Structure 1
Amino acid sequence: MATVRLVPTVRRRRLGGALRRLRNQAGASIEAASEAMGWDPSKLSRIENAKAHLPVKDVAPLLAQYGVTDADVIKALEGLAQDANKTGWWTTYGNVVADGYKDYIGLEEDAESTHIYVQGLIPGLLQTGAYAREIIAGTGPHLGPADVAALAEVRKKRQAILTDSTRPTGPLKLWAVIHETALGYRSAAQPTLMREQLRHLLDMTDLPNLTLQIMPKDAPAHPGMAGPFHVVRFPMPWPTVISLENLRGGYFVEGTDDVKAFESCFELIVAAALPVDDSREAIKKIMEGISR
């Protein structure tokens, strides 16, 4: 029988990274930890590198080797081990969804909250279908109509996370700061597109888990001028992850010092942006200036 290669899911990578961190904190070598578990050292190495599955029943005994007794940490790691092999709904879209985007959606699915600063675009979680299709087509000139439609559908499905009360942490808490220039986009092909998008933004601000601010054009200098980023936070014991994007895809920043730097930057961005109520008024004013 042919060997089935395990595809490293983002959950398995997070589990492996957490286990490696805890082992290092305990000062245990792979050889010593493996011997205590009765394993070949290569097995633990493959688990830490997301190339092998860790059965749920082995999580607590392995953590015991590292001196981890916190019930919440053990439960969290057992949950991740249980879900590590599950593939998300986005995998059904095949290669249309790039690997980095799949990783981000996987993180988003497990996140408790996300803080976002964007400049020229409305965040994907807040886009209407028409806006999403036009922006995806415009920023991906290599994409055919079918791919554009598929990616717009993926973006729409992602938005369910904002109202899904069945998630372990409830609906995703979203704090988005959007630069005013993103609100000024005008579609030559669809004159009412932006008016509908701005109306949608206002409607979304009624959600109790959504905070929306607008960065005015005349705002003082702030860290967001260096580029957009996402601060993705998870329930304990999982560390916060920073997501950065560019035309070639995205990448993640996970080091403690780097994460703290971005979190501090987001606080400065929030301080430079319009307050929530003033942001709503700014959206209304721009929307009213668009021809019906």
Structure 2
Amino acid sequence: MAQGRHIPTVASSRLAAELRILRERAGFTWPAVAEEMGWSESKLYRIENDKSRILARDVKRLIKLYEIDDAKAEVLLELARQAREPDWWHRYSGAIPEWFQVYVVLEASASEVREYESELVPGTLQTEAYTRAIMSTAPILDSDEEIEEKIAVRMNRQARLAGEAPLNLWVVLNEAVIRRTVGGPEVMREQLDHLVKLARTRNVTLQVLPFDAGEHAAMLGSFYLMRFPDEGNPDKVYVELQTGGVYSQKTDEVERYSLVFDHLRARALGPEQTVEFIQQVAAELTR
């Protein structure tokens, strides 16, 4: 890991979003704030997008500049303090590409994720054996240590589905995800049983888009939509590529993907039908 590289945290993500919305409410433009603070506009952009760390003393200066009340100022300073504390994924930073660290933080901060998967079970729903099988197909094989770290990251991410404030997850899976036997019949059967178990929890909704649904609105591939509890943190869409990821919070793009997801939900099997379908495919694997 490069010395001094900023690794985002849940707190730093919230702080960045708060500072952005407070600047806008105060009526300041990027150039105006940059001039007042003696910064470049690019530095302010990085701070407001959680790509660069902001010092507590600079948070205090922004509080004064934006004329923030005492109660809100206390929240901001506490976030600045918490942002210095590492989150669980920091110890695995070498195993998580920088572009995906952004997603891990967003997922940890989100209240709801809606996603369409065309090829594989989403990471938050995978069994360890299924994850190992996928990693064994990588064109560039990792060392045993790197594989174990990546598996640990995936298993840690799944903790968001439990606890006092669990992530609300709504997933539409292409039928191919259920039909493709990853890791052999035994591994896939375990994975399908795991999906059925999760589908029966209150915060996970699964739907399968069957082959006989024909053409559909997401034939170009998978995507993720994220919603956050914080007022200053707008909805985001994420599309994963082979060597990176594309993020957007532009209203028109988020709305377009939301519409696509609604179309998929309408074409897919209902949640109860989905459970029955997955159980049927799992039973076929034991014959």
TM-score using structure 1 length: 0.82
The answer to which of 77-86 and 150-159 deviates more is 77-86
Work out which structure has the larger RCO, using CA pairs closer than 8 Å and 6 or more positions apart in sequence: 2
What is the distance in 1 between the residues matched to 2:31 and 2:237? 32
Where does residue 90 of structure 1 map in the other structure?
Answer: 89
**Which residues of 2 match residues 120-131 of structure 1 at below 5 A?**
120-131=119-130
What is the distance in 1 between the residues matched to 2:92 and 2:251? 33
What is the distance in 1 between the residues matched to 2:34 and 2:119? 50
Where does residue 103 of structure 1 map in the other structure?
Answer: 102
Where does residue 23 of structure 1 map in the other structure?
Answer: 23
1:260 aligned onto 2:255:
yes
1:272 aligned onto 2:239:
no
1:41 aligned onto 2:35:
no
1:247 aligned onto 2:242:
yes
What is the distance in 2 between the residues matched to 1:216 and 1:138? 26
CA-to-partner distance for each residue in 1:62-100, whole Å, 9 max, x for gaps?
3574476797x7677555434323322122124221112
What is the distance in 2 between the residues matched to 1:261 and 1:77? 33
Q: Helix, strand or coil: the match of 2:90? A: helix
Asked whether the 8 Å contact 1:91–1:102 carries over to 2, the reply is no
The answer to which of 226-235 and 254-263 deviates more is 254-263
TM-score using structure 2 length: 0.84
Paired-residue identity, % = 31
- Listed as ranges, the gaps of 5+ residues in structure 1 are none
- Residue 116 of structure 1: CA displacement? 1.0
What is the distance in 2 between the residues matched to 1:117 and 1:77? 35
Where does residue 159 of structure 1 map in the other structure?
Answer: 158
Where does residue 286 of structure 2 map in the other structure?
Answer: 291
- Residue 101 of structure 1: CA displacement? 1.8
Q: Alpha carbons of 1:20 and 1:235: their partners in 2 closer, same or farther (altered >3 Å)?
A: closer
1:62 aligned onto 2:62:
yes
**Which residues of 2 match residues 166-205 of structure 1 at below 5 A?**
170-187=165-182, 190-205=184-199
CA-to-partner distance for each residue in 1:218-251, whole Å, 9 max, x for gaps?
1143222121011111103111111110111212
What is the distance in 2 between the residues matched to 1:171 and 1:133? 25
Q: Helix, strand or coil: the match of 1:146? A: helix
Q: Alpha carbons of 1:225 and 1:30: their partners in 2 closer, same or farther (altered >3 Å)?
A: closer
Q: Helix, strand or coil: the match of 2:218? A: helix
Q: Alpha carbons of 1:32 and 1:224: their partners in 2 closer, same or farther (altered >3 Å)?
A: closer
- Residue 102 of structure 1: CA displacement? 1.5
Where does residue 140 of structure 2 map in the other structure?
Answer: 141
Letter in 1 for 2:108: E
What is the distance in 2 between the residues matched to 1:171 and 1:75? 26
